[in-house]
């Protein structure tokens, strides 16, 4: 091997090593939160996802509205719902679930530093009368900070859009504070017997 080839080989190896070191440094910086950012800023500080699925319908607190005109409600900038009044209130949010799916879990996220309790129920309303069925229920634990609860014991689990409309119902005490909020909910579902055409075409 002549001198020119040796120099060229050495330069190539050096360039490859330099590129690898630069990539490793960039990944390290990208994975580290920037100064002054924690869970709210969320630069590299990500909570593990709650397992479930394979299908999901997720709603933020923005989708919940009071079921009575006398009930008060407000939202944080992040979209968390809270009750600014001094009396307990009820709120509801519609759910668009696929016909024929089977609901497997309901997950509720909340923020609570007042050690209070809220309850979210998954319900189906009969389209031919004024009754409804409760499918699942999740209550906050009353522990301080962000948290979540889940319910995998689902009644009337198969979605039937020919006969029912589906929604989530929230009850929240009147604490008048944004230190107690509903962050959002998730309904997990599966197709036990078939894969829908929309999924096959992906």
The pLDDT tens digits for 87-121 are: 999 999 999 999 999 999 999 999 988 777 899 99
Residue 143 is predicted with a pLDDT of: 67
* Tokens read off for 44: 């590299």
Does 100 map to a domain? yes
Q: Is the pTM of this model over 0.85?
A: no
Residue 9 is predicted with a pLDDT of: 52
Does 43 map to a domain? no
Of the ranges 23-32, 84-93, 123-132, which one carries the lowest mean pLDDT score?
A: 23-32
The label of the residue with tokens 């859009």 reads 161
Does 45 map to a domain? no
What are the residues whose beta carbons fall under 8 Å from the beta carbon of 132, sequence distance 6 or more? 123, 124, 125, 126
For the chain, what percent of residues have pLDDT higher than 90? 55
Does 14 map to a domain? yes
Contact 59, 107 (CB under 8 A): no
Average pLDDT, integer, range 114-142 = 92
Domain count, the chain: 2
Residue 6 is predicted with a pLDDT of: 56
Q: Is the pLDDT of residue 34 over 80?
A: no
Closest CA to 147 of 116, 123, 176, 188: 116
Span 141-199, pLDDT tens digits: 766 789 999 999 999 999 999 999 999 999 999 888 888 899 999 999 998 765 555 55
Residue 2 is predicted with a pLDDT of: 56
Does 40 map to a domain? no
Does 19 map to a domain? yes
* Tokens read off for 139: 């209550």
For residues 5 and 69, state if they share a domain.
no
Give the CB-side neighbour count of residue 96, counting CA atoms within 13 A.
3
Structural domain harbouring 18? 1-34
Does 192 map to a domain? yes
Does 195 map to a domain? yes
For residues 15 and 71, state if they share a domain.
no
What are the residues whose beta carbons fall under 8 Å from the beta carbon of 55, sequence distance 6 or more? 98, 101, 188, 189, 190, 191
Residue 20 is predicted with a pLDDT of: 44
For residues 132 and 193, state if they share a domain.
yes
Residue 112 is predicted with a pLDDT of: 85
Residue 50 is predicted with a pLDDT of: 87
Residue 32 is predicted with a pLDDT of: 33
For residues 96 and 148, state if they share a domain.
yes
How far is 75 from 79, CA to CA, in rounded Å?
5
């Amino acid at each position: 091997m002549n001198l020119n080839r040796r120099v060229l080989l050495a330069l190539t190896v050096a360039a490859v090593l330099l590129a690898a070191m630069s990539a490793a440094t960039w990944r390290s910086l990208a994975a580290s939160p920037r100064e002054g950012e924690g869970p709210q800023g969320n630069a590299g500080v990500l909570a593990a996802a709650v397992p479930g699925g394979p299908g999901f319908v997720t709603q933020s607190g923005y989708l919940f509205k009071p079921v009575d005109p006398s009930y008060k409600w407000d939202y944080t900038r992040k979209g968390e719902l809270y009750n600014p009044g001094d009396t307990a209130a009820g709120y509801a949010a519609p759910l668009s679930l696929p016909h024929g799916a089977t609901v497997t879990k309901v997950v509720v996220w909340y923020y609570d530093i007042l050690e209070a309790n809220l309850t979210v129920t998954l319900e189906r309303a009969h389209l031919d009368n004024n009754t409804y069925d409760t499918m699942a229920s999740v209550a906050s634990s009353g522990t301080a900070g962000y948290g979540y609860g889940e319910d995998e014991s689902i009644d009337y689990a198969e979605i039937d859009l020919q006969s029912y409309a589906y929604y989530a119902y929230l009850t929240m005490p009147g604490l008048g504070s944004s230190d107690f909020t509903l962050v959002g909910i998730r309904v997990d579902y599966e197709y036990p017997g078939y894969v829908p055409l929309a999924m096959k075409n992906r």
